[in-house]
Amino acid sequence: MSKPTIQDVAQKAGVGVGTVSRVLNNHPSVRDSTRAKILKAMESLNYTPNPHARRIAGGRSYTVSVMLPMVAAEFYIRLLTSIEETLGEQRYDAAIFPMLGRERLERYLESHTMPYQADGIIQITYNLAVLFPDGRMPTEQPVVLVDGKTDLYDCTYVDNYHGGLVAAEYTCQAPGEIYLVSFDDENDPDAIFKSLVFADRIHGFQEGVSRAGRSIKDTYFCGLQYHEGLAITKQIYDHAQFPITIFAGADILGRPMIDEAKSRGLILGQDVRIIGFDNQPWAAEIGLTTLHQPVEEMGAKAAHLLLERLSGFEGPPRQFCYQPFLIERASSLKSIPVI
Amino acid sequence: MSKPTIQDVAQKAGVGVGTVSRVLNNHPSVRDSTRAKILKAMESLNYTPNPHARRIAGGRSYTVSVMLPMVAAEFYIRLLTSIEETLGEQRYDAAIFPMLGRERLERYLESHTMPYQADGIIQITYNLAVLFPDGRMPTEQPVVLVDGKTDLYDCTYVDNYHGGLVAAEYTCQAPGEIYLVSFDDENDPDAIFKSLVFADRIHGFQEGVSRAGRSIKDTYFCGLQYHEGLAITKQIYDHAQFPITIFAGADILGRPMIDEAKSRGLILGQDVRIIGFDNQPWAAEIGLTTLHQPVEEMGAKAAHLLLERLSGFEGPPRQFCYQPFLIERASSLKSIPVI
DNA sequence: CTGTTAGCGCCTTCAT
DNA sequence: ATGAAGGCGCTAACAG
């Protein structure tokens, strides 16, 4: 009554274990008819290969570790989903390691822990390699970084600087005060996680505003939570001289700006223009103008890069940069009423 | 240059592999001196056992699957952390499976997927077993449920009904309208995840209010997000006849009630009394009266229960119930100013 | 193309 | 108490 093994399948299909193994690893040299026969046997036995045995025998377990800051932020869910789908195409599974904080990260870092037991590692947003003395992960496994740039490993990322620039150009099409609200971990000495994602957006925006000969009235930083964005929004609305334009470094911070504007009877696109970043699935619903980033493409590409490494590719690190683009919606459009 | 094996250790220590294996599984019958010798060899070789090999040979991988709705909600982070710590005491690791939604859950459910490759399963909040025709997980592994009650498996949970009751009693100590705002998945036919956590809180509260001969003016349901709580809060404050008391089924919903009250100049503990549920780490900061639940204890207990099963315990399912208790803070106290 | 066989790293008897 | 040997489920040659 225990799980069926490759032996059972071989017997049931009337072939040798070697052949079964071949179809498992879809080796080309197997006659279609026998392949079918074996597949049928696996089906009827409800057989699935034991990844531990595969790992120990063949040196690979068909799992890859995905290390990310957290799960539940929509951005990461989307990324994760696209990565898993792509890995699935080659029958790979993802083992998820949410770091969440310094303590957990440190546990995961030690070279004998779970993340290193997989065939490869995908890191999201944070390039953990920089935490090591030599700037490399303490492993021979292929590593790829998503949503971050590095010269040492394959990576896929968004040109956040450019996104900030575009936001600035659009901002400067209208008169009035300009505000910037964003998350920033760049200057937090205690932040073990660091990325340039937000810093780049900010710098791009600053550069763009200054190129247009304008200037930013005020800049605020806060965490990526609705209530934090709301608190800052109130400050801004309390003292601003309308019209104003606010660039929120993330959609989640743009959301309270819309809500609070409505609460106060401010007219969106006229008194207040709001620009987000991310184009979250709900951004359309609330009419938030924002910079779209191709999250799914980025994740899928990263997974592909890793799969290539896992099938033996040995070239130098490859970098893929995606350009975000502006999607104009009611939060910044005159005369189109917000639903 | 590859990783050292048990062979290397045995050789270096001048013993047989069997003995090394014994110290690995701390078997009693090993002389202290040889044990020390072997430990030293392992140390100098920087040896760590290959979990896949252990799994395949010994039938256990020293990992347990933790299946939870999501990560990033503080409740789950705390639970997860306590579980991992406890498992770690016995050298077990946790593999994390955030379900996040129907699609991912369904993938995980199939009996050949990753969650079933571990030695045991801890399920949080949602008793996935009910999704199967026979009401049991399709596996022989021990299962324990945290934050939910079941008769089939070991479980640890909070008496949410009692919590609701206590909240109601406290609520009814003051006059005025009574409101209830909570999350509820009970009546959502599409919700694949279901739990009685919130339903119990609600029922307990309703019962308590009615016992006191009072009645609930209005009940609202929404998702567990700040902005949703805020929207409802505004509705309530717009139409309420103060003083009022609001019971929020979760701290995260109580938070906007405090913020909005301040915004409107309502006096907490006088015009508006707010009671949350959870006692999140930040509840003290914002002065939120709430029902404390012993999250860490619950997680640690669950992990222990599983570890016992993993070491061979075979008794009938055990249930551990924790009683939440009220912590009174500024959001419901007269004359103590909220900071 | 396919059956056979030797390991992969470790645990578990069975002797000693 | 400890060494030797068989086997866990699978992959990877090696013969046919």
- What pLDDT is recorded for position B189? 61
**What does the block give as tokens for A19?**
């052949």
pLDDT digits (tens, 9 = 90+) for A70-102: 776 788 889 999 999 999 988 898 998 988 777
Instruction: List the A88 CA – C12 C1' distance (angstroms).
Output: 36
Q: Is B16 within 7 A of strand D by CB distance?
A: yes
Q: What are phi and psi of A24, to 5 degrees?
A: -60, -40
User: Rounded to an integer, what distance in angstroms lies between the CA atom of residue B298 and that of residue B159?
Assistant: 12
CA A80 – CA A183 distance, rounded (Å) = 22
Backbone angles phi, psi at B106, to 5 degrees: -60, -35
CA B19 to chain centre: 40
pLDDT at position A115, please?
A: 85
Identify the pLDDT of residue B195: 82
pLDDT of residue B213: 97
Query: Per-residue pLDDT tens for A1-49?
Result: 468 899 999 999 999 999 999 999 888 888 999 999 999 999 888 888 8
Residue A184 has a pLDDT of: 77
**Strand (E) positions, chain B?**
63-68, 93-98, 120-124, 143-146, 154-158, 177-182, 218-221, 244-248, 272-278, 289-292, 319-322, 325-327
pTM of the model: 0.86
Contact call for residues A180 and A219 (beta carbons, < 8 A): yes
Average pLDDT, chain A: 91
* Mean pLDDT for chain B overall: 90
Name the residue facing A53 among B56, B256, B263 (closest C-beta).
Answer: B56
Whether residue B137 has pLDDT greater than 60: yes
Tokens of A17: 């274990």
**Given an 8 Å threshold on Cβ–Cβ distance, is A71 in contact with B100?**
yes
Q: Contact at 8 Å (CB) between B318 and B154?
A: yes
- Do A155 and A198 contact (CB within 8 A), yes or no? no
The pLDDT of residue B317 is 97
Judged by CB atoms closer than 8 Å, whether chains meet at A114 and B98 is answered as no
Q: How many CB atoms lie within 10 A of CB A278?
A: 26
Q: Which pairs count as long-range contacts for B84-90, CB under 8 Å and 24+ apart, including other chains?
A: B84/A104, B85/B300, B86/B299, B86/B300, B86/B303, B86/B304, B86/B307, B87/B303, B87/B306, B87/B307, B90/B307, B90/B310
Angle among Cα A296, A269, B257 to the nearest 5 degrees reads: 75
Distance, Å, A298 CA → C8 C1': 36
Query: Are A71 and B73 an interchain contact pair (Cβ–Cβ within 8 Å)?
Result: no
- Of A95-109, A141-155, B11-25, B125-139, minimum mean pLDDT range: A95-109
Tell me the C-alpha distance between A75 and A244, whole Å.
28
Tens-digit pLDDT profile for residues A197-208: 999 999 999 999
DSSP state of B268: B
Residue A226 in this model has a pLDDT that exceeds 60 = yes
Nearest CA-CA distance, residue B186 and chain A, Å: 22
The pLDDT of residue B199? 93
DSSP characters over A157-210: EE-HHHHHHHHHHHHTTS-SEEEEEE---TT-TT-S---SHHHHHHHHHHHHHH
Q: State the average pLDDT over residues B285-303.
A: 97
Q: Is the CB of A261 under 7 A from strand C?
A: no
- pLDDT at res. B72: 65
Maximum separation of any 2 CA atoms in chain A, in Å:
82
Q: Which nucleotides of C are covered by protein (CB under 7 A)?
A: 1-5, 7-14
**Domain chopping of chain A, boundaries:** 6-157+295-322, 160-293
Chain B positions in Cβ-Cβ contact with residue A113 (cut-off 8 Å): 93
Where does B265-310 have alpha helices with state H? 295-310
Q: At A177, phi and psi to the nearest 5?
A: -70, 150
pLDDT at position B27: 86
- In the predicted structure, residue A109 carries a pLDDT above the cut 90: no
Give residue ranges of A with CB < 8 Å to any B CB: 46, 48, 50-53, 55-56, 61, 63, 70-73, 77, 81, 93, 95-98, 100, 103-104, 112-114, 117, 225-227, 230-231, 234, 255-256, 259, 263
Closest CA–CA distance from residue A258 to any residue of chain B (Å): 11
B337 or B298, which is more confident? B298
Which of the residue ranges A88-92, A171-175, B111-115, B227-231 would you say has the lowest mean pLDDT? B111-115
Task: Output phi, psi for B96, to 5 deg.
Answer: -100, 130
Residue A233 has what pLDDT?
A: 98
Q: Which CATH number fits domain A6-157+295-322: 3.30.43.10, 3.30.750.24, 3.40.50.2300, 3.90.800.10?
A: 3.40.50.2300
Nearest CB partner across the interface for A52, out of B55, B73, B263: B55
Residue scoring higher pLDDT (B243 or B192): B243
**Average pLDDT value for residue range A113-117:** 84
From A113-117, B81-85, B186-190, the region with the lowest mean pLDDT: B186-190
pLDDT in tens, B246-280: 999 999 999 999 999 999 999 999 999 999 999 99
Res. A263: pLDDT tops 90: yes
Per-residue confidence band for A228, with pLDDT thresholds at 50, 70 and 90 = very high
**Contacts of the segment A146-153: beta carbons below 8 A, 24+ positions apart:** A146/A79, A146/A83, A146/A122, A146/A298, A146/A299, A146/A302, A147/A79, A147/A195, A147/A197, A147/A298, A148/A123, A148/A124, A148/A195, A148/A196, A148/A197, A149/A196, A149/A319, A149/A321, A150/A317, A151/A317, A151/A319, A152/A317, A153/A129, A153/A317
Q: What angle do CA A50, A118, B305 make, to 5 degrees?
A: 70
Q: Is strand C within 7 Å of residue B22 (CB)?
A: yes
Which of A52, A104, A226 lies nearest to residue B52, judging by beta carbons?
A52
Q: Identical fold at B6-157+295-322 and B160-293? A: yes
Best of B70, B84, B119 to mutate (most A CBs within 10 Å, chain A): B70
Pick B56's closest partner by Cβ from A50, A72, A73. A50
**Percentage, residues of chain A above pLDDT 70:** 95
pLDDT at A191: 67
Q: Which of A46, A73, A256 sits opposite B227 (nearest CB)?
A: A256
Q: Is the CB of B91 under 7 A from strand C?
A: no
Rounded Cα gap, residues B101 and A229, in angstroms: 27
Chain B CB contacts of A256 below 8 Å: 227
**The pLDDT of residue A251:** 97
CATH of domain B160-293: 3.40.50.2300
CA distance A71 to chain B (A): 5
Closest by CA position to A149, among listed A290, A336, A334, A302: A302
Q: What residue type is B94 in one-letter code?
A: A
Specify the pairing of strand B289-292 against strand B325-327: antiparallel
* CB atoms B72 and A73 under 8 Å: yes
Smallest CA–C1' separation from B37: which nucleotide? D2
